[in-house]
């Protein structure tokens, strides 16, 4: 869509950057941060103001912006035009934004088939059909490198001081296709893992489990020894699905692609996956895993947990449940458990670790007028004012400045709906996520900081960064893996539940081979090798 053009664009040229990167590999120290891996590159820290002066551009009156409405915002507003951070940005920049929110996944394909595109499209480009390279080749979005160099001083400085960030957000030929959502610190990469009822462990005088054998002993005690002390055999030791990222990590695999010494593997296509499913089959047969896990949704799981029945499961945070039960149960306490190991005293091989760059970002389309001004408008988010706005919201409403630092108000931390309509800190918008938001949020609830530090303590050397497939590779890979995903999801639960005997597992693996798993892995291997050469 063509926007009106006037005079001089009002954003400050050379605005100061809030964040820059110290290009230092992360190492485990006191269990607080993950070790260096292909996914763990750089920490982003405050820098001096960007001194580069940008050329004057014609003033931008309005633009159109296509983006899915994130769940945090959707809880209280119908359009990002009502979002407090974007309202403030309009006040600061003078640009009126028409937000377009698709109602279905098919809307993306319909939009991309149109000749009249919005000015900006925010999407998960790497996961889209054909990826960003196809969108550029088809004349839908533009290469941004030169525009960023000339009109985006904040992002330019960030990329100059963070060559690893530039590598991560580019295609294999070096093209930058979108203003990225980027996690600014290793502390932001891990936010889920195991949690157990610490009060149940206390009642049974048991230690937090670390090894698979210790887990088996604890879950058996949860089943047999009345840890909730109500005199009934009503405990469910563990709610767990095989596709959760949990016990397979003890065998050095995940639920998807990994790499070992530069060789890409799919976890389902390894001998360790059979060991993992054999373990779950045994535990399920012993009644240690919720017998109704397949039909238990999140609400029912939560009801089992708050109803004093469930002993352990994978959580995103422990604070939610500790907060819910405060004043309702005198001893209720959820506490994080480390990712499991086989041998006592060893560091977990792998755990949850999201990538610095998720593939999400805001791209400028070929339908846009006044591209330099749109680039400057997007670049605002990477300067100090924009970064604070989208991470922390509105001063006086969601945060106060304390000793020169933004600090969330207690009432804001207690109100997820307020943060949802005032910040993008829980969404994937075009900005650098600030470590301080997670530090402050986790510190606001019981065992919050402990949970993140516990789950971060893993070697994490096998993770793979987000890779860019060529359009042909992407089409072929999707065709193969769509069928394999359907097959695996249908079969693995049967093995876990004993419907299908484990002696048929080798035939299951052979079927994956016949369906093209090795070709799919080869495609990812080629993409990984290209990534390493960027």
| Strand, coil or helix: 355 | coil
Task: Quote the pLDDT of residue 51.
Answer: 59
Encode burial over 466-477: b for 16+ CB neighbours within 10 A, e otherwise.
Answer: bbbbbbebbebb
Average per-residue pLDDT for the chain: 90
* pLDDT surpassing 90 at residue 27: no
The single-letter DSSP state of residue 365 is B
CA distance 380 to 386: 5
The string of pLDDT tens digits covering residues 50-64 is 556 777 889 999 999
Confidence of residue 48 (pLDDT cuts 50, 70, 90): very low
| pTM exceeds 0.85 for this model | yes
The string of pLDDT tens digits covering residues 455-470 is 999 999 999 999 999 9
Residue 466 token pair = 């987000």
Task: Quote the pLDDT of residue 57.
Answer: 86
Task: Quote the pLDDT of residue 104.
Answer: 87
CA distance 167 to 93: 30
Side-chain-side CA neighbours of residue 494 (13 Å): 13
Confidence of residue 42 (pLDDT cuts 50, 70, 90): low
Confidence of residue 242 (pLDDT cuts 50, 70, 90): very high
Residue 315 token pair = 């959580």
* pLDDT, average across residues 285-308: 97
CA distances in angstroms from 135 to 4, 168, 452, 460, listed in the order given: 25, 19, 37, 33
> In terms of Cα–Cα distance, which of 150, 140, 128, 143 is closest to 68?
128
CA distance 440 to 458: 23
Residue 436 token pair = 């301080």
The string of pLDDT tens digits covering residues 472-500 is 999 999 999 999 999 999 999 999 999 99
The string of pLDDT tens digits covering residues 128-150 is 989 999 999 999 999 999 999 99
- 117 burial (CB, 10 Å; 0-12 / 13-18 / 19+) is buried
Which domains are delineated in the chain?
5-189+356-448 (3.40.190.10)
CA distance 357 to 42: 12
| Strand, coil or helix: 277 | helix
| Strand, coil or helix: 52 | coil
Encode burial over 328-338: b for 16+ CB neighbours within 10 A, e otherwise.
Answer: eeeebbbbbbb
CA distances in angstroms from 291 to 219, 238, 295, listed in the order given: 14, 10, 9
* pLDDT, average across residues 7-34: 33
The label of the residue with tokens 């065709």 reads 479
> What percent of the chain stands above pLDDT 90?
84
Confidence of residue 317 (pLDDT cuts 50, 70, 90): confident
CA distances in angstroms from 489 to 148, 482, 504, 520, listed in the order given: 43, 11, 16, 17
* pLDDT surpassing 50 at residue 47: no
CA distance 173 to 528: 13
CA distance 305 to 33: 29
* pLDDT surpassing 60 at residue 524: yes
CA distances in angstroms from 398 to 78, 381, 420, listed in the order given: 20, 18, 11
> In terms of Cα–Cα distance, which of 256, 473, 476, 472 is closest to 355?
256
């Amino acid at each position: 869509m063509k926007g009106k053009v006037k005079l001089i664009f009002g954003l400050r040229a050379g605005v100061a950057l809030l964040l820059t990167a110290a290009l230092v590999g992360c190492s485990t120290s006191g269990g607080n941060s993950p070790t260096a891996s292909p996914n763990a590159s750089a920490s982003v820290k405050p820098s001096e103001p960007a001194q580069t002066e940008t050329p004057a551009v014609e003033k931008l009156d309005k633009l159109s912006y296509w983006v899915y409405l994130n769940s945090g915002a959707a809880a209280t507003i119908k359009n990002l035009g009502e979002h407090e951070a974007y309202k403030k940005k309009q006040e600061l920049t003078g640009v009126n934004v028409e937000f377009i929110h698709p109602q279905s996944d098919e809307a993306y394909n319909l939009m991309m088939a149109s000749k009249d595109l919005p000015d900006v499209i925010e999407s998960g480009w790497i996961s889209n059909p054909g990826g960003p390279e196809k969108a550029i080749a088809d004349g839908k979005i533009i290469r941004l490198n030169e525009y960023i160099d000339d009109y985006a001083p904040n992002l330019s400085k960030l990329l100059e001081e963070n060559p690893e960030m530039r590598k991560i957000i580019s295609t294999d030929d070096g093209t930058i296709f979108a203003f990225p959502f980027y996690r600014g610190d290793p502390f932001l990469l891990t936010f889920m893992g195991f949690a157990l009822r610490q009060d149940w462990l206390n009642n049974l005088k048991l230690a937090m489990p670390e090894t698979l054998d210790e887990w088996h002993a604890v879950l058996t005690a949860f089943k047999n020894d009345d840890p909730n002390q109500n005199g009934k055999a009503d405990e469910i030791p563990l709610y767990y699905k095989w596709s959760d990222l949990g016990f397979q990590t003890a065998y050095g695999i995940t639920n998807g692609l990994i790499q070992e010494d530069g060789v890409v593997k799919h976890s389902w296509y390894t001998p360790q996956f059979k060991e993992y499913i054999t373990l779950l089959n045994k535990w399920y047969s012993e009644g240690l895993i919720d017998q109704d896990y397949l039909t238990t949704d999140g609400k029912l799981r939560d009801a089992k947990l708050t109803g004093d029945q469930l002993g352990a499961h994978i959580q995103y945070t422990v604070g939610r449940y500790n907060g819910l039960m405060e004043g309702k149960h005198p001893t209720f306490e959820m506490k994080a458990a480390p990712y499991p190991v086989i041998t006592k005293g060893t560091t977990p091989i792998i755990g949850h670790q999201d990538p610095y760059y998720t593939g999400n970002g805001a791209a400028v389309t070929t339908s846009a007028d006044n591209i330099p001004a749109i680039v400057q408008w997007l670049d605002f988010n990477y300067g100090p004012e924009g970064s604070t706005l989208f991470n922390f919201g509105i001063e006086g409403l969601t945060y106060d400045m304390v000793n020169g630092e933004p600090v969330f108000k207690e009432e804001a931390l207690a109100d997820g709906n307020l943060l949802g309509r005032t910040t993008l800190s829980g969404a994937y918008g075009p900005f650098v996520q600030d470590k301080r938001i997670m530090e402050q949020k986790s510190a606001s609830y019981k065992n919050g900081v402990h949970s993140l530090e516990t789950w971060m303590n893993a070697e994490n050397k096998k993770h793979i960064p987000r890779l860019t497939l060529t359009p042909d590779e992407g089409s072929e890979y999707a065709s193969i893996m769509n069928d394999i995903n359907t097959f695996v999801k249908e079969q693995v639960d049967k093995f876990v539940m004993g419907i299908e005997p484990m002696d048929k597992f080798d035939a299951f693996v052979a079927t994956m081979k016949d369906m093209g798993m090795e070709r799919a892995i080869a495609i990812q291997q080629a993409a990984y090798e290209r990534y390493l050469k960027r």
